[in-house]
Chain A
């Protein structure tokens, strides 16, 4: 039986509150940027069509709440992700230090089939701030961390000025496609052709 072509790629963006996750997504999908800080609640996604090797894919980009109190339902949406983007703010050491937590949390919750080779991409955002003068995490330090975690691709971005955003998401899409995270192959015990299955588990009202 031919499996359906994989045309949908799921990407999760994680990182501390205020590092610019929403801004990166908005810059990439809508080419828009706002300086205003607006917290994200729960999980939200936007889609974008990408052309890759003559094929069209839909990139489903999940933006998440950096503040824990706005993640009340948990992270079931991690499931089936093809790539995870870890974002930090180059002007905040804490946001960089927390990358490890985000990565581990993701691997535990999403439990991909091959955690060693699951594709991550790291983005050091806000390189535009103060002409780079308030920067506290050096590119070298960030690259060293990425190298230590199995050569995670690294990009320095500015969602505000659109620097490297396109390039980063190209890479994200490419890695997501390569990831080989196949969905659970489901085969029913018996193939029950034609008859509709009963509805044993309905309860309460008929809605």
Chain B
């Protein structure tokens, strides 16, 4: 007959509701005709439906609520009856004639409520009677619902301070006594339920008990609403009595739930002033109680309270809340040696949040919490527990969120020690969180010591922490994280050159171990950061105090040279070449000829030995030419050597068009506008002629290979170079030379073997138009162009 099927239960509930409705119908009729006798009879029969044992608490609650609603009508009827002259005392006697005890007690509570309202007897006497009479029901579910009915109907009739029921005979003490007694009885019923019935139904029983919990907790809610309970009464009576019940019941479910209730229903001020007592209860709870969750909620509440207003902070200090919570946590952890590490970290995480809110100026507290956490973690392997590592990330993020400033977190000596316990994946996550915090808050990290500490924290991103290969690392994720490191490097800055140099050296030390995959991301920002420092120093008097130690561009260049070199070993020769050229240009601006020469040499060596891909060569040679063109620091000899090499490389490119373009680009190496000593018209012409020869050869090759001449584009490009130098006043570039080049192009374009190329045609046409335009401009330029026939 046990209703374990849901269907059965629905059936029982439907039957219960039907019985209830039928009797309610007759009750209504009796009420309408003011027939007290029938009203009592049918209401008692209606309430008999609540005698069932077949419903789960949820379903029982549905039935109970229907009865509850009906009883409100009955209550109003009772009120009307007393107005019509019926004695409430008689009514109170009369309802006790009901045959079954459960309906009798529901009716008694209902009349009792009217009785108190009538004030014909002291509220405390009626309440005392009712709470005692309810002992008659010892069936847990029925008893709990009956008593919760009592709690609800008496709720607004307690002799609270300022209430109409307070009087000479009735005080708030009586109200408290009544609620506490009801609470105690309910808790007993609730706990006893655990030990009734067969062991195999333990799970079902626990579920049912869990559903019933709010009926018990409701009493604490009622207490919290009693205005007369001031701090003293709470401290002296309410809290000790409630805790006594909680501790002594030795029931895991009850202890967990009721501690949570106490924390949630009573105000923060009370908790602060009774922390000793409240926290003292925790170690006395059953070892299986999930204390960490409850304690964390307490700390969360208090943190929110502290954050609500600065006015409340003195309260926290006055009661030494931090040290009390810290002690309590220590004791709980000690008392529960089997507590999983997740629990430990959760507790410390809550305590850290608490101290950050309450004592933002006490970094030592925060460090103390982290230290305690380290102590608990030590001796353990790296954490495998996903939830625990997540909790550590939360723990470590808390100071960042609070201070918006990694610099503060860097002062916490235990911070990196906690990070040690993260697996490398989580370590990276945390490092990313740290970098994001710095980015978001634009934190200035301006000393080498802090940079050292910071890189110690984010080393998960800087180098491989273990030897295992992480093949599964996503390429995009890796790029993303390395780019964030690069951004971070750019952000490190000190206005003091000495300190900045130290920062650079510190960063360098850390990133050099990053391995071939990371260096291409981390070296460039470091190089540019160093070059920025060079530029800053460049205007200044070299070594103004003659100090040996002071930072000079020369010193920085030495470091740079070694730094970039690491890239050529990876190998990443193209990147290294670019960076060497950047350095050369900076050295040029510092008037350091030997240094600039050295950088060029490095770049050339890379070009010769490492860069073999022809397209990479083209890119590299143009970079070399461009950079070299801008150099003014070189004496004739060095410059000759470098330009000679560059033209040599150009002429040796694989494809003829590439050769041609590189060679005519070289012409600029011999003619620099703002350098009077570099105006070698003859060699310019040599370059251009050589380019022409190559373009010719390209045409012929094309003819031989494909049977048609290639495009005239190269010739037009060379023509444009001629015009450039012609305008610049290079005496070697003559009208005749230009004229013959135009004719050559025209002939090529009209030859039978030429392939039509609209782009080249347009290019040529626009070049001619340009010349026409220059002619018409008049003045010196116009005169110059005048002899050319277009």
Chain A positions near chain B (C-beta within 8 angstroms): 1-2, 4, 7-8, 22, 26, 32, 34, 36-42, 44-47, 58, 60, 65, 67, 69-74, 76-77, 79-80, 184, 186-188, 196-197, 199, 201-207
Contacts and interface: CB of A to CB of B under 8 A. Distances in A.
B225 A201 contact: no
5 contacts: A7-B76, A8-B73, A38-B265, A44-B155, A201-B52
B51 A76 contact: no
A156 to B, nearest CB: 22
B214 A41 contact: yes
B571 interface: no
Main secondary structure of the interface of A (DSSP, over half): loop
A205 B220 CA distance: 30
B265 A58 contact: no
Contact of B268 (A37, A186, A204, A207): A37
B180 interface: no
A203 B102 contact: no
Contacts of A202: 48, 51-52, 100
A207 B102 contact: yes
Contact of A207 (B19, B51, B260): B51
Contact of B221 (A7, A44, A80): A44
B172 to A, nearest CB: 15
Interface of B: 1, 12, 15-16, 19, 21-26, 28-29, 31-32, 41, 45, 48-49, 51-54, 57-58, 61-62, 64-66, 69, 72-73, 76, 100-102, 136-139, 142, 152, 155-156, 210-215, 217-218, 220-222, 224-225, 227, 260-261, 264-269
Contact of A47 (B48, B156, B266): B156
A41 B217 contact: yes
Given A186-B25, A197-B45, A203-B52, A36 B268 contact: yes
B435 to A, nearest CB: 29
Contacts of A206: 100-101
Top 6 closest pairs, chain A to chain B, by CB? A36-B267, A39-B264, A42-B214, A41-B221, A41-B217, A76-B65
A2 B214 CA distance: 39
B25 A72 contact: no
Nearest to B145: A73
A103 to B, nearest CB: 21
A1 B31 CA distance: 13
A42 B139 contact: no
A80 B62 CA distance: 12
Nearest to A71: B214
Contact of B76 (A8, A32, A65, A69): A8
Contact of B265 (A41, A79, A207): A41
B152 A73 contact: no
Nearest to A10: B69
Contact of B45 (A39, A47, A196): A196
Contacts, number: 140
Nearest to A194: B38
A46 B11 CA distance: 33
B61 A38 contact: no
Contact of A41 (B61, B100, B138, B218): B218
B269 A36 contact: yes
B61 A76 contact: yes
A19 B790 CA distance: 87
A71 B214 CA distance: 7
A162 B198 CA distance: 55
A184 B139 CA distance: 31
Nearest to B151: A44
Contacts of B26: 188
A47 B217 CA distance: 21
B52 A38 contact: no
A124 to B, nearest CB: 20
Contacts of A184: 21
A73 B215 contact: yes
Contacts of A187: 25
Given A44-B155, A44-B218, A76 B62 contact: yes
A77 B65 contact: yes
A42 B221 contact: yes
B54 A203 contact: yes
A32 B227 contact: yes
A207 B76 contact: no
Contact of A80 (B51, B69, B102, B156): B69
A4 B25 contact: no
Counting chain B CB atoms within 10 Å of each CB, the highest count among A1, A40, A187 belongs to A40
A60 B153 CA distance: 12
Contacts of B58: 73-74, 76
B690 to A, nearest CB: 73
A65 B32 CA distance: 36
A202 to B, nearest CB: 5
Contacts of B54: 201, 203
A122 B621 CA distance: 74
Given A58-B76, A207-B137, A207-B139, A42 B217 contact: yes
Contacts of B16: 201
Counting chain A CB atoms within 10 Å of each CB, the highest count among B16, B21, B215, B224 belongs to B224
Given A42-B214, A70-B264, A60 B73 contact: no
A100 B210 CA distance: 28
A40 B25 contact: no
A37 B267 contact: yes
A8 B71 CA distance: 12
A4 B73 contact: yes
A108 B238 CA distance: 39
A41 B220 contact: yes
B440 to A, nearest CB: 21
Given A73-B212, A79-B69, 15 more contacts: A26-B225, A36-B269, A37-B268, A38-B221, A39-B221, A41-B214, A44-B152, A58-B76, A74-B58, A76-B64, A196-B41, A199-B48, A199-B100, A201-B52, A206-B101
